[in-house]
Amino acid sequence: MASAELLLVSQAMAHDPQHPSPPDLGPDPVLAGFRKSIDNIDAALIHMLAERFRITQAVGEYKAKATLPPADPDREARQIARLRKLSEEADLDPEFSEKFLRFIIDEVIRHHERAAAG
Amino acid sequence: MASAELLLVSQAMAHDPQHPSPPDLGPDPVLAGFRKSIDNIDAALIHMLAERFRITQAVGEYKAKATLPPADPDREARQIARLRKLSEEADLDPEFSEKFLRFIIDEVIRHHERAAAG
């Protein structure tokens, strides 16, 4: 087969649903759709987290002014129990939700330490 | 001062905005309001994450079926750059957003490993 013919066959196969394009022939539309959803969710997560840190910053300032203790282990235990329950309902690993809350609280503590040092 | 008088003075002070209640006299309404907002945001975050993991699970299954490689370093670099930019706009530490995406991706990898082992 001449190389021009080979090119035509390869172009025809690229548009044939029975012969889906290999990944190097262009973006996969199914994968691109999934990724669009992931990107939308990530943008929502970032904005939710930004708002959460705005509130925890206000909490830190308020606790300092009202001379309330910075940490509250009872509150933290209630938060963990609640998020584990919500996770189960949403079919998310409850262990992950606890790890996630710990990850966020560690960042809040870092913010408070930075604010105290600044 | 008699103990009954002391009790009355203490009750009056508890309702005087010039003399805010010490923390052991009952829940602080300002703090309770902040915490309600944090709890609402956390519930939203958990549900967003549950949906994100549903999609990455579908991506894993699709990639396996379409014999696409499981990891895509270029995609990951684009995601990090995008989230850092979004974070800056939302007044969130861009370093944190990168750490957050890494935390989520590590969990996705754990899910895929578990699925492959099961």
Is residue A93 classed as helix, strand or coil in its secondary structure? coil
Q: What residues have CB less than 8 Å from A92, skipping those under 6 apart?
A: B46, B49, B50, B53
**How crowded is the C-beta side of A91, counted as CA atoms within 13 Å?**
7
pLDDT for the residue A7: 46
pLDDT for the residue A18: 59
Measure the CA dihedral A105/A106/A112/A116, to 10°: 160
Number of residues in chain A: 118
B55: nearest CB among A38, A49, A55: A38
pLDDT for the residue B7: 46
- Judge whether B9 is closer than 8 Å to chain A, CB to CB: no
| Residue B23 pLDDT greater than 70, yes or no | no
- Gap between the Cα atoms of B97 and B72, Å rounded: 19
Contact B86, A46 (CB under 8 A): yes
pLDDT for the residue B27: 79
Contact B82, A39 (CB under 8 A): yes
Residues of A in contact with B31 (CB under 8 A): 59, 62-63, 66, 68
**What is the per-residue pLDDT across A54-94, written as a single tens digit (0 to 9) for each?**
999 999 999 999 999 888 899 999 999 999 999 999 999 99
CA B8, B10, B12 angle in degrees (round to 5)? 70
- A vs B, Cβ pairs < 8 A, gives 126
Instruction: State the SS3 of A43-58.
Output: HHHHHHHHHHHHHHHH
B45: nearest CB among A38, A45, A53: A45
Nearest residue of chain B to residue A32 (CA atoms) = B59
- Judge whether A24 is closer than 8 Å to chain B, CB to CB: no
**pLDDT tier at B8, thresholds 50, 70, 90:** very low
- Gap between the Cα atoms of A83 and A89, Å rounded: 10
Cβ-defined contact of A41 to B51 (cutoff 8 Å): yes
Nearest CA-CA partner of A52 in B82, B48, B102: B48
Alpha helices in B66-93 (DSSP H): 73-89
Q: What residues have CB less than 8 Å from B21, skipping those under 6 apart?
A: B13, B14, B28
Task: Give the count of beta carbons closer than 10 Å to the beta carbon of residue A113.
Answer: 10
Residue ranges of domains in chain B, CATH in brackets: 26-117 (1.20.59.10)
Residues of B in contact with A61 (CB under 8 A): none
Q: What is the ipTM score, two decimals?
A: 0.77
Nearest CA-CA partner of B55 in B117, B116, B111: B111
**What is the per-residue pLDDT across B28-86, written as a single tens digit (0 to 9) for each?**
999 999 999 999 999 999 999 999 999 999 999 999 999 998 888 999 999 999 999 99
**What is the per-residue pLDDT across A94-118, written as a single tens digit (0 to 9) for each?**
999 999 999 999 999 888 888 778 7
Q: Which two tokens stand for residue A46?
A: 């970032």
Q: Against a cut of 0.90, is the pTM above it?
A: no
Distance from the Cα of A29 to chain B's closest Cα (Å) equals 12
- Judge whether A7 is closer than 8 Å to chain B, CB to CB: no
**What is the per-residue pLDDT across B82-98, written as a single tens digit (0 to 9) for each?**
999 999 999 999 999 99
**What is the per-residue pLDDT across A14-43, written as a single tens digit (0 to 9) for each?**
455 555 545 455 679 999 999 999 999 999
